[in-house]
Structure 1
Amino acid sequence: MTADSAVIYIPHGGGPLPLLGHTGHDAMNAFLKNIGKTLPRPRAVVVVSAHWEMDIPVVTSHSAPELIYDYHGFPRETYEIRYPAPGHPELAAKAVDLLTQARIKAKTNEKRGFDHGVFIPLILMLPQADIPCIQISLCASLDPLEHLRVGEALAPLLEENIWLLGSGFSFHNMRGFDMGPGPGAGTDPDPDNQAFQDWLKDTCANGRQTPEQQKENLIHWDHAPGAWHCHPRQEHLLPLMVCAGAAGYAPAKTVFDGIIMGRRALGFLWQDA
């Protein structure tokens, strides 16, 4: 990984709420804006979003991707959001080539646009929309090992001043969020939420585990305390697997540990000094 590259696992919030002034997202919005300003400006961004699942990894390759408003019941203006970042067909082809070399079947998609797991956080992180982006799908198997291997295969991209952005949420139980107008911090204690975030932080960022131990823990994430409470379905955790694999299971830096919609969530950064 070059000094200008970064691997980042972030929470992307609830649909378009981060752009609507929802105070439950204040801490997350401040974090995303700050990290976008403080990290070295990338040549391109590769995003793995929780909101796209395919049988095999699929990579967007349109030179000017449209946006996919994959949420429902929000104000009209949320369906008029624009984020005209260019695509990067050559980078998409390289990503597919790296995956294929690792014996992972993959392909490009010239029609697919960017879902809200891409454009919502990038509007906050890189608001100029002038840096090329590609998106890579999750695998519909939702197998953690498969996603760790995808990350391992993509690691050579980090020699090219690229951000690999895992866009998900370390807590994603829709029944567990406080969706009211306030931040909800501390109003509804959730021991399972706390236990799983503590485990995840210990696994990814304490620096006491070998790469082999970290990988094994992530493969068996569902054995962690509070795991299924925090992730009744694991699609929002799997972008973290891609990030950890790409970073070679090095210790991450915890760059976000805060409350979003009443629940604790984490963000991690891997970056060479």
Structure 2
Amino acid sequence: MSHVAFVSHGGGPMPLLGDPSHAELVSTLKALPQQFPKQPSVIIMISAHWETSGFEITAAENPDLIYDYYGFPDESYQFQYPALGAPKLARDIADKMEAKGTHIRLNEKRGFDHGMFIPLMLMYPEANVPVVQISLASSLSPDQHWMLGEQLAEALPKDALVIGSGFSFHNMRAFFAPKTPQVKHDVHAFQTWLDETVTSSHLDLNEAKQRWLHWSEVEGGRFCHPREEHLIPLIVCHALAQKQGRSIAFSALGVEARHFVW
């Protein structure tokens, strides 16, 4: 069984620029590989920053980095993370998923976005593990992405590490607005709901899936995610892990946030 983690990757390149409001995020990401018994043979990355019509998978030998953030210091556009791709594995995954009824197009040109390289520069700074990145479908459908996770569980090498890269809170306006008692209440309500959904031993997988299908109706849901692309990788990870996980709580940019590990 692959190891699985969902990480909240922070604001653009800020985790690597010494920003004080990212200190806990940085320390928790650096410590995360200790949760896994050995170095993975490959990292399968599902980033909030790549959406396509249907699903795609990177199939380049040496993908470039995509500096998909704006208005940061020059050094932010000079980061290097020379991880290799794994085109043969990408084709194998695509073939296995096709057999299960999910089409994943090979993309031999796309590089790695900051949802990939920012957390991995902290978790695996040596860049010595090959990486394959899978897109989100632009539908952002919880049901479609839960099915993706379920099917991927049987299509990956046993010693793969799957990382969903998003943010458990992603309301850009609220990040930089006053953290009023109402804001803190709404954030806490949803982070608590996430903890229950992903970690409660009283829920079976089908009950967890049903909760995900209605996430936007729960208290704080739409406030925390006006648009859900940073939440969807967590749904993929939960379905792929096929069990309940553990929560890592921290603060970033002045709000309560989570990583999850299985």
Normalising by structure 1, report the TM-score.
0.92
Matched residue type, 1:164? V
Confirm or deny that 1:16 pairs with 2:13: yes
In structure 1, what is the equivalent of residue 236 of structure 2? 242
Post-superposition shift, 1:38? 4.3
* 2:205 is the alignment partner of 1:207: no
Q: Structure 2 unaligned segments of length 5 or more: list them.
A: none
Aligned residues: 261
Q: Distance in 1 between matches of 2:155 and 2:103?
A: 18
> Aligned to 2:256, which of 248, 252, 264?
264
* Partner of residue 53, structure 1: 51
Aligned to 2:184: 190
Deviations, residues 162-204 of structure 1 (Å, cap 9, x unaligned): 001000001000011148xxxx999985111000000110111
* 1:156 partnered with 2:135: no
8 Å CA contact 1:24–1:260 kept in 2: the answer is yes
* TM-aligned CA deviation for residue 160 of structure 1: 2.1
Distance 2:170 2:152 in 1: 26
> Aligned to 1:220, which of 207, 214, 233?
214
Q: Cα deviation per residue 1:66-101 (whole Å; 9 max; x = unaligned)?
A: 000000000111101000000000111122123212
The answer for the alignment partner of 1:136 in structure 2 is 134
- The percentage of aligned residue pairs carrying the same residue is 42
- Which residue of the partner structure matches residue 168 of structure 1? 166
Q: Distance in 1 between matches of 2:216 and 2:181?
A: 27
State the Cα RMSD in Å: 1.7
Kindly provide the amino acid, as one letter, of the partner of residue 251 in structure 1: Q
What 5-or-longer segments of structure 1 have no aligned partner? none
Per-residue CA deviations over 1:140-170 (Å, capped at 9, x if unaligned) read 0111111111111110245520001000001
**Match of 1:113, SS?**
coil
Give the TM-score taking structure 2 as reference length: 0.95
